[in-house]
Amino acid sequence: MSQVIGYEKVGDIAVLSANNPPVNALGVDVRRGLLAGIERAETEGALAVLIYGEGRTYFAGADIREFGKPPQEPWLPALCDRIEASPLLVVSALHGTALGGGLEVALSCHYRIAIPSTKVGLPEVNLGIIPGAGGTQRLPRVAGVEAALDMITTGRHVRAPEALEMGVLDKVQDGNPRDIGLAYVQDLLEANAPRRPVCEMARPVAIDFDAAYDAVLKKGRGQLSPAIAVRAVQASCESADFAAGQARERELFMELMASDQRKGLIHAFFAERAVSKLPELQGISPRDLHKIGVIGGGTMGAGIATSALLAGLAVVLLEMSPEAAHAAKDRIAANLAGAVKRGKLSTVEHDDILQNRLTLATDYDALGDVDLAIEAVFEDMEVKKQVFARLDAVCKNGAVLATNTSYLDINEIAGSVRRPGDVIGLHFFSPAHVMKLLEIVVADQTAPEVAATGFALGKRLGKVSVRAGVCDGFIGNRILNTYRSCADHMVLDGASPFQIDTALTEFGFAMGPYAVSDLAGLDIGWAARKRKRTAGLDPRARDSFYADKLCETGHFGQKTGKGYYVYEMGKRGGTPNPEVMPLIEAERAERGISPRTFTDKEIVRRYMVAMVNEAAKVVGDGIARRPLDVDVTLLYGYGFPRYWGGPMKWADLQGLPTVLDDIRKWSEEASFFWQPAPLLEQLVAENRSFDDLNRET
């Protein structure tokens, strides 16, 4: 018998147990073992077959690592058909997360039982594909078209009680999958229960699939798989028979399997898991984390405190006065109320947090026993140094001293205390209790176990943590500044902010750069531009002033009701502000610029190539460890469309030589801005990709 599928007879029942950690993925050996097990059970005259998983879960899906490689038999759809066609009674006992091909194997069985904590789902659309082993044909038959469309187009996990109600499960029972499975099979045999091939169930009742397709396509914001899934489910209602429906599913599945979106989404899946695996952290134990101190209770500090409280940590929040401390507590309470409203927190937990785990303080001595202190005070170096001096004096030995700065030099901050090895940057993104990205900024003297503690905190908070080196803007904001400048240059040269926003939302961003600026507050960019001018801008850099003039009139975006867009109370989104173009046209005239037209395609291309070029410099400078670290940063902190996998994956899919060709062509018109990244030139010269670099690093 195969190593990954165990076989034993218990009375008249053949038991097939999966043992392919970590998630019992349906790799080729598992598929071969299942096929051999079914055939052996039939040969040995068993009356029934029980299939279950050892370890933490029933099959969690096809083995994603096999995607893109030549498929090996038995193919999963054929295996499912073979299980379903067995003359024996075939039952699956589920636990953990029965997902994708895993649920499809279960649906090809005649009965399904699960323990109460089980979740089931068909999340293939999140990988850029659709269920490809009969899921779009069997699920509508057991659960109906509406429920099947909801599960398949969203990829959501469904808990056992709901799955029972939907008809996906036949029974839910406490215990372990093997025991409850054996007992259930015994009951079925004693009741002389019939085989129940799902393929023989009545064809599902059709709905208005065109309307469903249009709605899902619009919601997907350019991602194709959910809408294609609608067409596959439609085939379950309209095909001549089950086999024809399966054939249609296969055809649509193979089309998506060959798509760039599948490559992008699979890349994102593995990248977000690889990003916290750093050689320098192997074998390094993080310090204990039970209690943290947050200095500064503004939006960021309150968000960080909320995130820590939701993760079960105790928090001491320090503000400069009792009034400010209570205002911070009100912000935290509002954040927690949002969590209760979203069903993420019970009211009992909400009250417990505010009464027992949040301590307000106005004296630094209250931070004497925290394991980690993080400051989220005003973004000014002198203010930060004053805070760190106090932390250095009061915090216990071994406490981690963290800054939430988004661009200040953390090496300079570390150099101002007696324990630079304990200093680290933890750059949260606002709102800190919602945004998943956390940039862990490792300064020159940061001790390895302090870096490990930063990653441990990120994991505890449910963040996606990315290691960054010290530079202005670390990974994300440094790249943002460049592609935002590229957009501003196109505005000066003839494009409008509104055309640029539209072109980029068509590309897949949730919002374009100018709408994002309105959301964040135009005063932030204004302050950054003034700071850079004061520090001394390179005379070759193309500065622009139209945005300053917008700010000088008090328009800071959504928070003032007007910025690039005009926002009406109670309405989502805004309409273009008619005051904007005259400011731009006046600046063009002052600069003697004759505006030209830009196609949406050129706008996206320039914007993306600028992003990739700066990202390649960030990797080349060692600020980001690998290209995938940049991808994960842009995916989780900057709304980059996930189905492209991130800017570096997008560049690989375009072909790095074409990206470099564009940079060289545009550098003829603007040599200072379009300086090719040395790493990009090196990879092109060596005929390598960013993915190649990910594999090597």
Residues 235-274 that bind ligand T1G (CB under 6 A): 273
Residue 306: is it exposed, middle or buried by C-beta count within 10 angstroms (0-12/13-18/19+)? Answer: buried
Out of 124, 319, 439, 449, pick the active-site residue.
Answer: 124
When the beta carbons of 157 and 549 are compared against ligand T1G, the nearer one is 157
Q: Is 159 helix (H, G, I), strand (E, B) or coil?
A: strand
Out of 84, 104, 319, 449, pick the active-site residue.
Answer: 104
Give the pair of three-digit tokens for residue 690: 């960013």
Binding segment (CB under 6 A) for ligand T1G, from list 20-28, 303-311, 622-630, 641-649: 20-28
Q: Which of 76, 309, 408, 487 binds ligand T1G (CB under 6 A)?
A: 76
| Ordered strands of the 48-53 beta sheet | 5-10, 13-18, 48-53, 89-94, 111-114, 171-172
Does the active-site annotation cover 42?
no
Nearest to 228 by CA among 208, 212, 239, 241: 212
* Residue 346 C-beta: closest distance to ligand T1G, Å: 23
Q: Dihedrals φ, ψ of 9, to 5°?
A: -105, 130
Q: Which of 97, 246, 405, 689 binds ligand T1G (CB under 6 A)?
A: 97
| Ordered strands of the 158-159 beta sheet | 97-99, 119-121, 158-159
Q: Does 108 bind ligand T1G (CB under 6 A)?
A: no
Q: 429: phi > 0 → left, psi -120 to 50 → alpha, else beta; which?
A: beta
Contact yes or no for 248/126 (Cβ under 8 A): no
* Residue 98 C-beta: closest distance to ligand T1G, Å: 10
Distance in angstroms (rounded) separating the CA atoms of residues 665 and 609: 12
Q: Does 70 bind ligand T1G (CB under 6 A)?
A: no
* Residue 647 C-beta: closest distance to ligand T1G, Å: 22
Distance in angstroms (rounded) separating the CA atoms of residues 558 and 492: 23
Contact yes or no for 66/27 (Cβ under 8 A): yes
Does the active-site annotation cover 104?
yes
Binding segment (CB under 6 A) for ligand T1G, from list 42-50, 59-67, 500-508, 603-611: 59-67
When the beta carbons of 20 and 496 are compared against ligand T1G, the nearer one is 20
Q: Does 23 bind ligand T1G (CB under 6 A)?
A: yes
Q: Which of 127, 147, 188, 372 binds ligand T1G (CB under 6 A)?
A: 127
* Residue 74 C-beta: closest distance to ligand T1G, Å: 12
Q: Does 220 bind ligand T1G (CB under 6 A)?
A: no
Q: Does 63 bind ligand T1G (CB under 6 A)?
A: yes
* Residue 269 C-beta: closest distance to ligand T1G, Å: 7
Q: Quick one: CA torsion of 366, 368, 371, 377, rounded to 10 degrees?
A: 50
Kindly state the helix (H) or strand (E) to which residue 587 belongs, with its residue range: helix 580-591
Give the pair of three-digit tokens for residue 565: 């867009």
Q: Does 614 bind ligand T1G (CB under 6 A)?
A: no
Q: Does 18 bind ligand T1G (CB under 6 A)?
A: no
Distance in angstroms (rounded) separating the CA atoms of residues 101 and 110: 16
Q: Which of 84, 104, 614, 662 binds ligand T1G (CB under 6 A)?
A: 104
Binding segment (CB under 6 A) for ligand T1G, from list 96-104, 220-228, 281-289, 687-695: 96-104
Q: Which of 131, 264, 574, 641 binds ligand T1G (CB under 6 A)?
A: 131
Residues 464-483 that bind ligand T1G (CB under 6 A): none
Residues 273-302 that bind ligand T1G (CB under 6 A): 273
Distance in angstroms (rounded) separating the CA atoms of residues 616 and 626: 9
Nearest to 427 by CA among 437, 419, 413, 417: 437
Which positions are catalytic? 104, 124
Residues of the shown chain interacting with ligand T1G in the complex, contacts defined by CB under 6 A? 22-23, 25, 60-65, 76, 97, 99-101, 104, 123-124, 127, 131-133, 135, 273
